[in-house]
A and B are shown apart, each in its own frame.
Chain A
Amino acid sequence: MKAESTTRWLSTVSLLFVLTLLGGILALSFSSLHWEWNWSAVWIYREKFLQGWLTTFLLSLSTLALSIPLGLALTAGRIGGYLPVRQFCTLIVELVRGTPLLVQILVLFYIVGSALGLENRFFAGILILSLFEAAYFSEIFRGAWQSIPQSTLNSARAIGLTPQDTFTQIITPLALRNCLPSLASQTASLIKDSSLLSIIAVSEVTHVAQEINAFTYSTLESYLPLAVAYLLLTAPLALLSRKWERSLAYAN
């Protein structure tokens, strides 16, 4: 118990040291820049910024809710589907993972979206981003499924479980446990990926920051709060991912 509190104390001191060091380097770089801070110009746009942040939050949440089932469907298609289904799902995943999101957004919005008459940028953004993230989620699910040892599946057969019970009682809980850390970190990526939707003028927080910059010519004052805005969303996920990783290491 005593050793534990000593370690905690040491790690706090060390963290403070690291933070001071990083802060010092940043402060030094900024002071050598002779930047004239002009926070009052961007402060005017605080409500717009907050709205953008909420839009990013909502955008990410909707994308998450849509891309996970879509990712599961892609995985199911790649594992269990008939040959054409398997090929189709594999092709989608590889296309999406192999090309820049920027290009996908432009092509899907201006070509496919226009052809389908989809004009709402917010919803189009959610759909495009969901497809992109689903491809990554699908890889995570596939990895988790393949990480279940054959010996465990043999055990399930030996005790006479039906394939359905094996899926619900054994495969799903084990795979879920295995993929939770990667899911959390992919979700953090998803949030940052949503910033690219600014190129089709979805009024999420990056787009708002670009606008504020254009209005005020205060680049750093526009983009530094943007970094903080994303950190507020991604940092809890990083912590969660770390925590799940630890509990996984313990269980194995």
Chain B
Amino acid sequence: MQIEASHVGRLYGDLWAIRDVSIQVPVGEPLLLLGPSGGGKSTLLRLLAGLETPQEGKIIVDEKPLSTNESDLRIHRRRLGFVFQEGNLFPHLNAVENITLPLIHAHGLSHTAALARAKELLERFRLLNRAHYRPAELSGGQRQRVAIARAMGHDPEILLLDEPTSALDPEMSAEVTDALESLSQEGKTLVLATHATGFAKRIGGQVAFLHDHRLTSYGPTKNFFQNPPTEGARLYLSRIYRE
């Protein structure tokens, strides 16, 4: 699956959250969206995921422009996996039900098949003993891993994550980044908005640096950290390291 943004712009009220951004999601390696808060990372992620539509430019999927019709967008979203900053698990459902719900209702699996798949994923993320816990009874790291498991249910080619560790303490972050690294090593394409630079360096791939609502640089992660390509990137990294 190929996703590409072509000169996209998204307006909120009378402010452009991003403008004239063109980027292609690389296949088989992670794409990291870096940059100061408010720079447009989340917006780009949501546009790629079909959660919002651009006012300028277009999103191109497998060389065809993505329609802005809600039911077409729904089909697009069903091909992807999306994880929010705070997992957004459904509070009335336990871990296993959170995973089976989209499998049954969005992907047409039978109850038995969905349950088997959910158990398999919970086992993989070492959460099988939490299968019947509600989100409120799970730790932040466990919730986020259930959210990743939910997004992985239908085995999407691309997994998009919006600052998945920002709301977690370092130990819980590690639980989540470990899970993401293993997914990436298996060849799953991750598109990730993040501030976690240590994790970004480890996972490699490409960095897209978004600053002041524009894409100001794009290139291999290693180069970005060794030799920040723009003044904005240098400033951003120096601020992050000072913390």
A residues engaging B (CB < 8 A)? 151-152, 154-162, 165, 169-170, 173-174, 177, 250-252
Task: Flag whether B74 is at the interface (Cβ < 8 A).
Answer: yes
CA separation between A159 and B49, bound complex, in Å? 10
10 contacts between A and B (CB under 8 A): A151-B84, A152-B88, A154-B51, A154-B84, A157-B51, A160-B78, A161-B101, A174-B91, A174-B92, A251-B134
Q: Whole-angstrom distance between the alpha carbons of A177 and B88 in the complex?
A: 18
Which of B77, B86, B134 meets A159, CB within 8 Å?
Answer: B77
Q: Are B51 and A161 in contact (CB under 8 A)?
A: no
Of chain B, the residue at the smallest CB distance from A176 is: B92
Q: Is the CB of A160 within 8 A of B91?
A: no
- In the complex, what residue of chain A is closest to B160 when comparing beta carbons? A158
Say whether B105 faces chain A, with CB atoms less than 8 Å apart: yes
B11 at the interface (CB under 8 A from A): no
Chain B residues near A152: list those with CB within 8 A.
88, 90-91
Decide: B92 and A173 in contact? CB cutoff 8 A.
yes
Q: A169-B101, A169-B105 are in contact. Are A157 and B88 (CB under 8 A)?
A: no
By beta carbon, the residue of chain B nearest A162 is: B74
Please measure, in the bound complex, the distance between the C-alpha atom of A156 and the C-alpha atom of B105, giving whole angstroms: 11
Determine if B106 is an interface residue (Cβ-Cβ < 8 Å): yes
In the bound complex, what is the Cα–Cα distance between A170 and B101 (angstroms)?
10
B102 interface residue per 8 A CB criterion:
yes
B113 within 8 A of A: no
Q: Is the CB of B77 within 8 A of A154?
A: no
Q: Give chain A nearest CB distance to B146 CB in angstroms.
A: 12
Complex contact A159–B102 (CB within 8 A): yes
Bound form: Cα–Cα A151–B147 in Å = 13
CB-CB under 8 A from A252, the residues of chain B are 91, 136
How many residues from B make CB contacts under 8 Å with A?
Answer: 22
Report the Cα distance A160→B78, complex, angstroms.
5
Closest A residue, CB atoms, query B49: A158
- Can you name 16 extra interface pairs (CB under 8 A) apart from A152-B90, A160-B75, A174-B91? A151-B86, A155-B84, A155-B90, A157-B51, A157-B74, A158-B51, A158-B77, A159-B106, A159-B150, A159-B151, A160-B74, A161-B105, A169-B105, A173-B92, A177-B92, A251-B136
Q: Which residues of A contact B88 (CB under 8 A)?
A: 151-152, 154-155, 158
The CA-CA distance from A197 to B108 in the complex, in Å, is: 53
A-B contact count (CB 8 A): 60
CB distance from A95 to the nearest CB of B (A): 35
Whether B82 is near chain A, meaning CB under 8 Å from some CB there, is yes
* 4 closest residue pairs by CB, A with B: A160-B78, A155-B88, A159-B102, A158-B82
B84: shortest Cβ distance to chain A, in Å?
Answer: 7
Please pick, from B74, B92, B105, the residue contacting A251 in the complex, using a CB distance under 8 A: B92
**A159 nearest in chain B by CB position:** B102
Q: How far is the CA of A158 from the CA of B89 in the complex (A)?
A: 11
Are the C-beta atoms of B84 and A161 separated by less than 8 Å? Answer: no
B20-61 residues with Cβ-Cβ distance < 8 A to A are: 49, 51
Residues of chain A within 8 A (CB-CB) of B134 are 251
Contact with A along B79-98 (1 / 0, CB 8 A): 00010101011111000000
Residues of A within 8 A of B77 (CB): 157-160
Which listed residue, B82, B91, B102, B151, touches A161 by the CB 8 Å rule? B102
Residues on B with C-beta less than 8 A from A155 are 84, 88-90
Which residue of the partner chain B has the closest CB to A250? B136
Bound Cα distance A250, B89 (Å) = 17
Q: Give the distance in Å from the alpha carbon of A169 to the alpha carbon of B136 in the complex.
A: 19
List chain A residues, Cβ under 8 A from B82: 158-159
Cα distance A174–B89 in the bound complex, in angstroms: 12
Task: Give CA–CA (A192, B125) in the complex, Å.
Answer: 54
Alpha-carbon gap, A143 to B54, bound state (A): 32
Tell me the minimal C-beta distance from B99 to chain A in angstroms. 10
Cα separation A173 to B134 with both chains bound (whole Å): 14
Closest to B106 in A: A160
CB distance from A158 to the nearest CB of B (A): 4
- In the assembly, what is the distance between CA of A159 and CA of B151, in Å? 7
Chain A residues in 8 Å Cβ range of B105: 161-162, 165, 169
Question: B97-124 interface mask toward A, CB cutoff 8 Å, 1 = contact, 0 = none?
Answer: 0000110011000000000000000000
CA distance A252 to B82 in the complex (A): 24
Instruction: Identify which of A151, A154, A169, A250 gathers the most chain B CB atoms within 10 Å of its CB.
Output: A169
